Amino acid sequence: MPRKIAAGNWKMNGVGAALSEIDALIAAHPTPVSRIVICPPATLIHRMAARAQGSALAIGGQTCHTASKGAHTGDISATMLAEAGATHVILGHSERRADHGETDAQINAQAQAALAAGLTVILCIGETEAERDADVTLAVVETQLAHSVPEGVTAANLVIAYEPVWAIGTGRVPTTDQIAEVHAAIRTHLVTRFGEQGHEISVLYGGSVKPDNAAQIFAVPDVNGALVGGASLKAADFGGIITALDAA
């Protein structure tokens, strides 16, 4: 069975004061069944990792450059994330694809850099609303997987997050049938490409996951957890999602 994972994406939210949420989260979930990952802004990674030491909480970055160092003003490398205490990195989030024009080829190169630095990649894919309306969701997701996931990945270093762009931050969630259809297609792709490992790679759903809809989403076949934005910022909300995943 794939590992159950609850990952929180803080996006560009949180300064030092927000670290108290981490203390509360660790205190409330000392021995979770699921793997818990928080991906804060880069400025908080080092402090959060120090705070989480000895706990079940893992820390991740939100992107990385394809190079390990160099003349890339404002960027951050996978090596730097790892040195700061991250064990994971989100790559290919739709906000990166939209705001920074990141392509599948670039995301593939970023993933290779992350793997070389020893990070586990949480790779995001998902269709826009126009693509869903045009009934090309499965083709879009298949193309993103084929081009952005590098060869040689394993269940130990790759997590896929299916995030319909229209469900992110909107309060709109696909039906459980829609989620099941895409997750089944993702699983087929992974097994076709990576054999036995493809069965073990965790596939998360993301997009408006909240404590009150989490259990329903986690009951969908091939949903192995969630990538959570807004509801990961408060320990009480994210805790409700962790509790639902632990029980799933």
Q: Name the residues annotated as catalytic.
A: 93, 163
Scanning residues 4 to 63, which ones bind ligand PGA (CB under 6 A)? Answer: 9
E strands, 71-224, where?
A: 88-91, 120-125, 158-162, 202-206
CA distance 77 to 70: 9
- Binding mask 134-173 vs ligand PGA (x if CB under 6 A, - otherwise)? -----------------------------x----xx----
Which amino acid is residue 119, in one-letter code? L
DSSP string across 16-66: GGGHHHHHHHHHH-SS-SSEEEEE--HHHHHHHHHHHTTSSEEEEES---S
Of 229, 240, 241, 244, the one binding ligand PGA (CB under 6 A) is 229
State whether residue 124 is helix, strand or coil.
strand
Give yes or no for residue 230 binding ligand PGA (CB under 6 A): yes
Nearer to ligand PGA, 48 or 161 (CB): 161
Segment lying near ligand PGA (by CB under 6 A), choices 76-84, 114-122, 127-135, 223-231: 223-231
Give the CA count within 13 Å in the CB-facing half-sphere of 128: 7
Nearer to ligand PGA, 40 or 207 (CB): 207
| 65: nearest Cα among 74, 76, 54, 73 | 76
Nearer to ligand PGA, 79 or 209 (CB): 209
Of 228, 235, 242, 244, the one binding ligand PGA (CB under 6 A) is 228
- Binding mask 74-113 vs ligand PGA (x if CB under 6 A, - otherwise)? ----------------------------------------
Report, in Å, the least distance between residue 211 CB and ligand PGA: 12
CA distance 245 to 247: 5
Report, in Å, the least distance between residue 124 CB and ligand PGA: 7
Give yes or no for residue 242 binding ligand PGA (CB under 6 A): no
| 60: nearest Cα among 34, 26, 84, 96 | 84
Q: Indicate the residue whose CB is closest to ligand PGA.
A: 229
Report, in Å, the least distance between residue 167 CB and ligand PGA: 6
Of 25, 149, 190, 227, the one binding ligand PGA (CB under 6 A) is 227
Q: At what angle do helices 137-148 and 176-194 cross, to 10 degrees?
A: 30
Residue 185, token pair as written in the block: 């297609």
Residues that bind ligand PGA in the complex, under the rule CB under 6 A: 9, 163, 168-169, 206-209, 227-231
